[in-house]
Structure 1
Amino acid sequence: MTSLRAGLLGIGMMGRHHARILRDVDGVDLVAVADPGGDPHRVAGGLEVLPDVHGLIDAGIDIAVVAIPTRFHAEAALALADAGIHTLVEKPIAEDTETGRKVAQTFEERGLVGVVGHVERFNPALQQLRQRLEAGDAGDVYQIATRRQSSFPTRIGDVGVAKDLATHDVDLTAWVAQALYASVSAQTAHKSGREHEDMISITGRLRNGVITNHLINWLSPMKERVTVVTGERGTFIADTATGDLTFFANGTVALEWESVSSFRGVSEGDVTRFAFAKKEPLRAELEAFRDAVNGQPTQLSSMSEAAHTLEVVEAALRSAGDGGALVVTDAVT
């Protein structure tokens, strides 16, 4: 089988990792890179650093990865669609929902594979979590809560923490629960003197009734990436920084201390930390992109799903601007 000729737009902090992995994915040849800022991380190797997306297109590529600042995503993606090139765009899909929907519609109308790099779908802990929830290991799911906290990444300047990080949590929650968002409310804070928010707290409800909560900021001197799923049989905790998944089961042994049992509702049962293979999420995502182009089903985020994720985040920002008022979202299918 002939290898897919790949082009990479953007070889900065994120693009350098795409470059490393694309060179090592079977069935893919990285033949062109482009970045108007040059090659600060020296990942181009023997390839010429082209100035823009049009240079990539002229190189005769089959697939492209777009890893440039958010405000340039749509323009680059639409140019690639016009050229008939299957494309993976880093999240978020675009600066705003309307533009994201336009990009998604364009790829769909052209019959092209258009996906968005919501890489948490390929985190081994979350993949295991989704499988176990689907199998009913937690019983009915009541709540999904996430925490994504760290210091400010200097590479981000064109969006706030909501569009940069909350998009991860919104997408992974909907994907793990296999349900779209119905409504959200939120509060934001601006504590570091930047134009965009650096802290957001989002509360929501999915269309299947599951309650959601997301705490996200760029103001913490440590890095935390945690997803907690509470159900009728116990609680799963996925640490996506380490790829670990642990299940805290509800107790089956009756407590002798009646007043405590009554107060707590459930008792503490067995704790299980699961062992499973752990592939680098970005590698798994790029392999899935290759597979999608070759006609295989994958768990990649479609552009329409990514537009819904962006819509939810923008609804949260509107809610915060209106004092935390509830905002109902429009489901994108």
Structure 2
Amino acid sequence: MTASNGGRRLRAGLTGLGSMGRHHARVLAALDGVDLVGVVDPLGDREGHAPGVPVLPDLDGLIALGLDYAVVACPTALHVEVGLELARAGVCALIEKPVADTVEGARLLAEAFESRGLVAGVGHIERCNPALRSLRDRLRQGELGDVYQVVTRRQGPFPHRIADVGVVKDLATHDIDLTGWVTGRPYTSISARTVSKSGRPHEDMVAAVGQLSDGTMVNHLVNWLSPLKERFTSVTGERGCFVADTLTADLTFHSNAAQTTEWEALRNFRGVSEGDMIRYAIPKREPLLVEHELFRDAVLGLDTDICTVRQGLRTVEVAVALLESAARGATVDLAAPVVAG
């Protein structure tokens, strides 16, 4: 995918060369129409992830290079500080998810970029997964009919890179965002339970039940305690069930059969029955590259489907409500999301 920018190349910067930052550096270094002009990491580039690019000790030095946009891949606790400084300098930003570790911080970021007319996005990369993009398109086209339920399972071994947040803000925010994005409906309530079994101060397992604005039921199971790595999303509706495996980017459809039967016990049951299964052939481009292409084009003023900071704020609100529900042992109702003017 090539952006039409009249020959102008965008100048991009990067903060952080950690587990995600190194991948951002790789993609930025080869991104059409973009020059990676500098990186900030106080520890330097010890493993050579940004060869030939200046590695600076602080953000002021990066901003001084003259940036069109920056990718914020430092620890979550620093997102607000770094994002606000970029906004004040008039620099657009793609901020890794979650956009902030508090609702207040996320709201500050949304207001800072919106008030200056700057493009800002959040790296909810599942929006760029081929299986989920195809699923969303099919739901929009009405292929499933009425949607009844969204179920996600996201589990696997503990990632030692995570130190500042628990499984809800690190992993469950993926599922919260993709559910709202795929269905086009906001959460109206959430109920959850969490446990901590690994000896860390944060939760490492969560089970949640929620509801969307159209009545769709939502179930999330997320943990860092399983040796089985799983990334599962299913959407069940009137005409069947879509199943997306975002590890392999596969999408299948299990149809609600319309065949008649002579078996009286089944004929009298007015529910559903097993029908055909279709596995779709989907072009499988790297999600991170797609995310960068979309954001680059948004900076150029093109109409692209990025995750805005305002949408990222909503995801943080739901995540915080989930943790509140677990702490109180009660369902938490969510106010309607605020739409930026």
Q: TM-score range by the shorter chain?
A: over 0.9
What CA deviation, in whole Å up to 9, does each residue of 1:8-37 have, x standing for no partner? 000111001001111111110111011112
Moved more, 307-316 or 318-327: 318-327
Q: Which residue of 1 aligns with 2:4?
A: none
Q: Contact 1:235–1:249 at 8 Å: present in 2 too?
A: yes
Q: Which residue of 1 aligns with 2:258?
A: 252
Q: Which residue of 1 aligns with 2:314?
A: 308
What CA deviation, in whole Å up to 9, does each residue of 1:61-100 have, x standing for no partner? 1110000110000000000001100100000111101110
Counterpart-to-counterpart distance in 1, 2:250 and 2:238: 22
Counterpart-to-counterpart distance in 1, 2:46 and 2:237: 47
> How many residues are treated as equivalent by the alignment?
333
Letter aligned with residue 2 of structure 1: R
2:76 to 67, 70, 75: 70
Q: Contact 1:261–1:267 at 8 Å: present in 2 too?
A: no
SS at match of 1:249: strand
TM-score if structure 1 supplies the norm length? 0.98
Q: Which residue of 1 aligns with 2:3?
A: none
What CA deviation, in whole Å up to 9, does each residue of 1:272-308 have, x standing for no partner? 0000211100000000010000111112110011000
What CA deviation, in whole Å up to 9, does each residue of 1:35-69 have, x standing for no partner? 11222431120222111221210111111000011
Counterpart-to-counterpart distance in 1, 2:243 and 2:311: 25
Q: Contact 2:314–2:337 at 8 Å: present in 1 too?
A: yes
Q: Which residue of 1 aligns with 2:87?
A: 81
SS at match of 2:310: helix
Which stretches in structure 1 are left out of the alignment for 5+ residues? Answer: none
Whether 1:269 aligns to 2:275 is yes
Percent pairwise identity? 56
Whether 1:162 aligns to 2:161 is no
Q: CA deviation at 1:133?
A: 0.5
TM-score if structure 2 supplies the norm length? 0.95
SS at match of 2:230: strand
2:40 to 34, 38, 42: 34
Q: Which residue of 2 aligns with 1:208?
A: 214
What CA deviation, in whole Å up to 9, does each residue of 1:160-213 have, x standing for no partner? 000001110000000000011111111000111000000011111111221111
1:139 to 145, 153, 170: 145
Moved more, 196-205 or 257-266: 257-266
SS at match of 1:20: helix
Q: CA deviation at 1:329?
A: 3.8
Q: Which residue of 2 aligns with 1:124?
A: 130
Q: Contact 1:11–1:39 at 8 Å: present in 2 too?
A: yes
1:4 to 5, 10, 17: 10
Letter aligned with residue 37 of structure 2: V
Q: Contact 2:15–2:70 at 8 Å: present in 1 too?
A: yes
Counterpart-to-counterpart distance in 2, 1:86 and 1:285: 15
Q: CA deviation at 1:332?
A: 2.8
SS at match of 1:215: strand
Q: Which residue of 1 aligns with 2:288?
A: 282
SS at match of 1:301: coil
Counterpart-to-counterpart distance in 2, 1:266 and 1:168: 30
SS at match of 2:233: strand
Counterpart-to-counterpart distance in 1, 2:332 and 2:91: 40
Letter aligned with residue 163 of structure 1: K
